[in-house]
Structure 1
Amino acid sequence: MSQIVENSVEKLFNKGFISITVINFVVYLVYYLLMVIIAVIAQDQLHASLGQAGLASGIYIIGTLLARLFVGKKLELVGRKAVLRYGALFYLLTTIAYLYIPTIQLLYLVRFLNGFGYGTVSTATNAIVTAYIPSSKHGEGINYYGLSTSLAAAIGPFIGMILLNTTSFYFIIIFSIVLILLTTIACFIFPVKNIQITAEHRAMLESWKLNTFLEKKVAFISSIAFVIGVAYSCVLSFLSSYAKELNLVAISSFFFVVYALVITFTRPMTGRIFDAKGERYVMYPSYFFLTLGLFCLSVTHSGWLLLLSGAFVGLGYGTFMSNGQAVCLKTCDGHHIGIALSTYFIGLDLGLGVGPYILGELHQFLTFPKLYFVSGLLPIACAIVYKLFYHPSYEKKEQALRLQRANQNK
């Protein structure tokens, strides 16, 4: 069945959509679970500096970035099925490798390879799900799918911080291995359909021109995603260390629970707003709420304000992450979706990857509160740039379609 045929199915919650969304959730869950604890492990067990610990967190994303560059280009050539299955297997093997990390240098290597495995699988799932979303429900479909990613971004760190405070690193890795093993089995069972590509498109993908690795139509939103990723990396990599400094370790575990609850209740609404009114009605609020969340973190000395910041960060980063992906879907046609989504996540992941190292080095000169304040300025800059320079070519077409649907509903 081709992607075009599958997209003609108007039912959003079909079996394929649900299955690949669950697989994606577990893949991201393990990523975020390990991301939030690695900096602490590197400092406590390998005696790394905060900058080295930040690099241990961030180098994972460099591996992910390279995977997205390579796999995004080769996805349709190799086939979505093979990329998903063997990427999951490599993700499993590199997760097992965490059982032996005697030095910080070896940790860098394992993190890099594990990031490559994660990037391979997630690039495949992000493309595969588009075949199961009706074209009239891009915003709603991607937001529900993105909910799996956002929930993983909340539940993963919550589990990681709970396990870090109650168990050992060895137990956390065994737990992660079990999750990835079950996911790998699911990937080999899931009946992925490869899309048919034309000879012209195949020739384009086999070339080594820049546009076969990156999609220029989504360059702007991908650049914005990079900056948002840097801002959010301050939360992801250093919240555990900041909470220790504030003596709020116990309550900080619930930061991501609040994050998860907020995005669970708001995600369906933001998807419908995206489809009904356009992206601007969800993107600008996402910048505002992320800034507000980071500013709250910069002044918090109490548990309730820490949790409130979790709600604002969820409304900000969680909303941006999935709706930026929906922008890519509306910008590109079916044959370019794989490269477009890869380009978008390269921007986002690169921000998450370099952010911990840059901010970790800045911590030599700035306290944690000042570091979170500086991070909070970044979404403001994104909103200004977005307003000044982003004018999607499809906007008039989308407005006409929305008007047509409104007239039909009368």
Structure 2
Amino acid sequence: MNKPKLWTKDFISVSLSNFFLFMTFYILLVTLPSYVLQELHGNASEAGLMTTLFLLSAIISRPIAGQWLERVGNKRVLLTALVIFAGASLLYFFPKTVIGFLLIRLLHGVGFGMATTAVGTIVADMIPTSRRGEGMGYFAMSTNIAMVLGPFVGLMAVQQWGAKILFTLSVIVAFCSLLTGLSVKLTSNGQHHEVAHSNFSIWNLIEPTAVPIAVVGSFLAIVYSALLSFVSIYADEIHLASVSSLFFVVYAIVLLISRPFTGKWLDLYGPNVITFPGIFLFAIGMFILSKSGAAFTFLLSAGMIGLGWGTLFPTFQTIAIQDAEPRKRGLATATFLSIYDMGIALGSFIVGAIVSKMDYSTLYFYCSLYILIGVVLYYFLHTRKSKIKSQEIIKEQEI
């Protein structure tokens, strides 16, 4: 029997749109704090707000976007979001104060939150059900590659050519996201009109079925935020600055190699086959990182973390989508990403406070132990509940 087609023109287009979206995000993520400090003469807290306010507006906008996806259709929300995102990118040339930049970051975050919700929902709808784990894994690679290339391009631009070229690049990449999004062909369905006149409720902004796995993802994302924020500083501390830039390169390479296998295994054998080993590999990778004193172990930890956490995130997102009704996929995507981003934001704050009390090696060692709690959390919030649900379905069928 022939497999249903995965690599369609629309799947490639929406993956490219997501890639350019996250490229813009990472280009600015690593450069704006230093721009605020050096060019606008702001302080460290103001520099930190550049990321915090962006994520906060993204978190707030996602549930609203998730409900709009049901009401007005995927394509309209996607294009509206990408127009806001690209338009906000144009505004970075104008403000000369920190306040002006913070206002732009709020608007940019709204576009980002809406767009990531829309593309996540659209790609889940277009992937054949029998290949959803595989397809979501490949789609997640567009984010992973952007995570590696974005900081590299952003830092090179600001160091070699200055802020104007940096902002020009971010505009070009953001408009590439809009153009590739425009090429996605979608058909509207009647579900949008059926719910269009439903009463507004705060509970309509959350998809309950996505909350348990989102909590697991958010719990582990706290450790990932410690990695994003401090791994380069830790590399300096252990005299491995010369290879610190390769950390996420190795992370991405391992992802690229493993993705064809892990996605198919998810479809064939279910999420537990991926999740439990993934959590253990993530913990082992953090333990090796905490004990690193040479380039080999430092980069080995990157590979282990890439194989562990890199497979967990798309697996969790796939679970969130599969557990929801088809018409609720947009809301499920929004719920999952919002709670996940809360973990990143909370982790940045918590870890920032902890590192003042201990060195990075100790921090990463305790992170490896913390990750193992995720095994228990995943079992009770997903595996155990899934078993109970399956048993109930079997009993109903017997009756």
After TM superposition, the structure 1 = structure 2 runs for residues 121-270 of structure 1, keeping only pairs within 5 Å, are 121-163=115-157, 166-197=160-191, 200-204=194-198, 206-210=199-203, 212-270=204-262
Per-residue displacement from partner, 1:95-124 (whole Å, max 9, x unpaired)?
233334544444433323222111111111
Displacement of 1:269 in angstroms is 0.7
1:33 aligns with 27
Which of 291-300 and 120-129 deviates more? 291-300
Equivalent residues of 1:12, 1:133 under 8 A apart: yes
- Which residue identity does 1:220 align to in structure 2? P
Relative to structure 1, the CA distance from residue 95 to residue 358 in structure 2 (aligned partners, 3 Å threshold; closer, same or farther) is farther
Relative to structure 1, the CA distance from residue 393 to residue 234 in structure 2 (aligned partners, 3 Å threshold; closer, same or farther) is closer
Q: How far apart in 2 are the matches of 1:164 and 1:368?
A: 28
Displacement of 1:195 in angstroms is 2.8
1:88 aligns with 82
1:290 aligns with 282
Relative to structure 1, the CA distance from residue 295 to residue 104 in structure 2 (aligned partners, 3 Å threshold; closer, same or farther) is farther
Displacement of 1:284 in angstroms is 1.6
Relative to structure 1, the CA distance from residue 299 to residue 268 in structure 2 (aligned partners, 3 Å threshold; closer, same or farther) is same
Q: How far apart in 2 are the matches of 1:266 and 1:348?
A: 23
Which of 109-118 and 64-73 deviates more? 109-118
1:5 aligns with none
Displacement of 1:396 in angstroms is 8.3
Equivalent residues of 2:140, 2:314 under 8 A apart: yes
Relative to structure 1, the CA distance from residue 177 to residue 237 in structure 2 (aligned partners, 3 Å threshold; closer, same or farther) is farther
2:347 aligns with 355
Equivalent residues of 2:23, 2:149 under 8 A apart: yes
Displacement of 1:216 in angstroms is 0.8
Q: TM-score, normalised by structure 2?
A: 0.87
Identity of aligned residues (%): 28
1:333 aligns with 2:333: no
Relative to structure 1, the CA distance from residue 135 to residue 161 in structure 2 (aligned partners, 3 Å threshold; closer, same or farther) is same
Displacement of 1:321 in angstroms is 1.2
Equivalent residues of 2:13, 2:183 under 8 A apart: no
Per-residue displacement from partner, 1:108-148 (whole Å, max 9, x unpaired)?
33323222111111111111112321111111111121222
Q: How far apart in 2 are the matches of 1:195 and 1:28?
A: 28
Displacement of 1:261 in angstroms is 0.6
Per-residue displacement from partner, 1:272-298 (whole Å, max 9, x unpaired)?
111111101111222222223333333
Q: How far apart in 2 are the matches of 1:198 and 1:103?
A: 42
Per-residue displacement from partner, 1:349-399 (whole Å, max 9, x unpaired)?
122223223322333323333333344343222122112443365558989
Provide structure 1 residue ranges, at least 5 long, that are not aligned to the other structure.
1-8, 400-410
Which of 300-309 and 135-144 deviates more? 300-309
Length, aligned pairs only? 389
2:102 aligns with 108
2:72 aligns with 78
Per-residue displacement from partner, 1:29-57 (whole Å, max 9, x unpaired)?
22223223444444555566655544432
